């Protein structure tokens, strides 16, 4: 039987994965807070333009249980979004969190009862055009896994068929740590300087990018994550190259006057990874600058 996936958080990444799962053979329903329309079209501008059609439901459509839920909301919105759908989950439901930042699984686990929690990371680069089309700037790599190291479950088939470079990971914690380290380098710099991901690898920003990488490496090393630390420079380079034209999610948030994920990314690294973090003056300054810009745009 074809699994139905409900998508919570239909921004650029949520929309992209809705299209990918439908391409992989899954039935996909979009969840919306207001749900003015019973269906919705998403336009994907990849190598060619493709149109995808989906049924759409209100988050609180309580008479339709959810078997497979993909959550792509902003990190700060995860808790309230899950609370809204929690009555539709059961012990046989799967909840996949594909969000930036760390500390989210701990927040979500108590809200979903006996449903199984899966966490993931993607380096896909996707943004919305002014007209609302999804513009893919890098196919990226997508990894899912369970924190108890379970092997791949059968429901991953549409992910394998529809998502490029997809992998089920038994050590998903390391994948998430590597991703938060990557986002801590790319997101604040691109947001504050208003540049594309690719610009970080070019002068004049290349030098500061390297300095931020060194500081993030020092935090990772103080937490014993030395392998992730040593692969960080190559990881940043690879993602900046493969998503060179992309506007990072934090850049888009600041430009739209929206709250960013700085707390779940840089805030988490600065205060939650290790009890005695080393001094990281540049990263701390970037954190403060993003918080300041958030305040300035919310007052404007």
Residue 87, Cα to own-chain centre: how many angstroms?
24
Q: Is 155 exposed, middle or buried (0-12, 13-18, 19+ CB in 10 A)?
A: middle
| Token pair 């300095």 in the structure block, residue | 211
Residue 4, Cα to own-chain centre: how many angstroms?
21
Binding residues for ligand KPL restricted to 257-296, rule: CB under 6 A: none
Q: Is 183 exposed, middle or buried (0-12, 13-18, 19+ CB in 10 A)?
A: buried
Closest distance of CB 248 from ligand KPL, Å: 4
Separation of alpha carbons 61 and 80, rounded Å: 16
| The one among 187, 196, 217, 260 contacting ligand KPL by CB under 6 A | 187
Q: Of the listed pieces 20-28, 86-94, 179-187, 270-278, which binds ligand KPL according to CB under 6 A? A: 179-187
**β partners of residue 56:** 30
Q: Write out the two tokens for 108.
A: 């979500």
- Residue of 249, 245, 282 lying closest to 265 (CA atoms): 249
Binding residues for ligand KPL restricted to 115-144, rule: CB under 6 A: 123, 125
Instruction: Verify binding: residue 249, ligand KPL, rule CB under 6 A.
Output: yes
Instruction: Verify binding: residue 242, ligand KPL, rule CB under 6 A.
Output: no
Q: What angle do CA 231, 123, 78 make, to 5 degrees?
A: 115
Closest distance of CB 250 from ligand KPL, Å: 6
Closest distance of CB 43 from ligand KPL, Å: 20
Q: Write out the two tokens for 144.
A: 């899912």
| The one among 29, 93, 142, 183 contacting ligand KPL by CB under 6 A | 183
Closest distance of CB 296 from ligand KPL, Å: 21
Q: Which is nearer to ligand KPL, 56 or 187 (CB)?
A: 187
Closest distance of CB 111 from ligand KPL, Å: 24
Q: Of the listed pieces 27-35, 64-72, 226-234, 240-248, which binds ligand KPL according to CB under 6 A? A: 240-248
Q: Of the listed pieces 37-45, 183-191, 202-210, 273-281, which binds ligand KPL according to CB under 6 A? A: 183-191
Q: Which is nearer to ligand KPL, 215 or 261 (CB)?
A: 261
Q: Which is nearer to ligand KPL, 111 or 220 (CB)?
A: 220
**CA 170 to each of CA 150, 175, 240, 274: distance values in angstroms, whole numbers, following the listed order:** 6, 10, 26, 23
Instruction: Verify binding: residue 22, ligand KPL, rule CB under 6 A.
Output: no
Instruction: Verify binding: residue 239, ligand KPL, rule CB under 6 A.
Output: yes
Task: Give the helix ranges, DSSP H, for the chain.
Answer: 12-23, 78-85, 104-108, 157-162, 172-193, 206-222, 226-242, 249-255, 262, 268-271, 281-299
- Residue of 245, 49, 253 lying closest to 137 (CA atoms): 245
Q: Which is nearer to ligand KPL, 137 or 280 (CB)?
A: 137
Q: Which is nearer to ligand KPL, 86 or 289 (CB)?
A: 289
Binding site for ligand KPL (CB under 6 A): 100, 123, 125, 183, 186-187, 197, 239, 243, 246, 248-249
């Amino acid at each position: 039987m074809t699994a139905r996936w409900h998508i919570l958080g239909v921004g650029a990444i949520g929309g992209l994965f809705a299209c990918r799962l439908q391409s992989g053979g899954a039935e996909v329903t979009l969840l919306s807070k207001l749900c003015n329309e019973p269906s919705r079209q998403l336009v994907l501008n990849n190598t060619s333009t493709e149109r995808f059609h989906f049924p759409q439901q209100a988050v609180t459509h309580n008479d339709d249980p959810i078997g497979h839920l993909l959550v792509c909301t902003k990190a700060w919105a995860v808790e309230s979004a899950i609370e809204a759908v929690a009555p539709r989950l059961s012990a046989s439901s799967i909840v996949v969190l594909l969000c930036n930042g760390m500390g989210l699984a701990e927040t979500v686990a108590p809200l979903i009862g006996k449903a199984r929690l899966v966490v993931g990371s993607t380096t896909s680069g996707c943004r919305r055009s002014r007209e609302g089309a999804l513009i893919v700037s890098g196919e990226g790599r997508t990894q899912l896994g369970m924190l108890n190291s379970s092997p791949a479950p059968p429901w991953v088939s549409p992910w394998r068929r529809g998502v490029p470079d997809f992998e089920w990971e038994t050590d998903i914690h390391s994948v998430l740590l590597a991703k938060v380290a990557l986002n801590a380098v790319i997101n604040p710099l691109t947001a504050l300087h208003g540049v594309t991901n690719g610009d970080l690898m070019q002068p004049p920003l290349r030098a500061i990018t390297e300095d931020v990488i060194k500081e993030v490496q020092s935090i990772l090393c103080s937490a014993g994550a030395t392998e992730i630390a040593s692969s960080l420079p190559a990881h940043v380079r690879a993602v900046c190259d493969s998503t060179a034209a992309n506007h990072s999610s934090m850049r888009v948030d600041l430009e739209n006057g929206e709250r960013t994920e700085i707390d779940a990314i840089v805030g988490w690294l600065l205060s939650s990874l290790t009890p005695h973090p080393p001094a990281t003056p540049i990263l701390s300054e970037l954190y403060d600058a993003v918080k300041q810009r958030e305040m300035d745009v919310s007052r404007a």
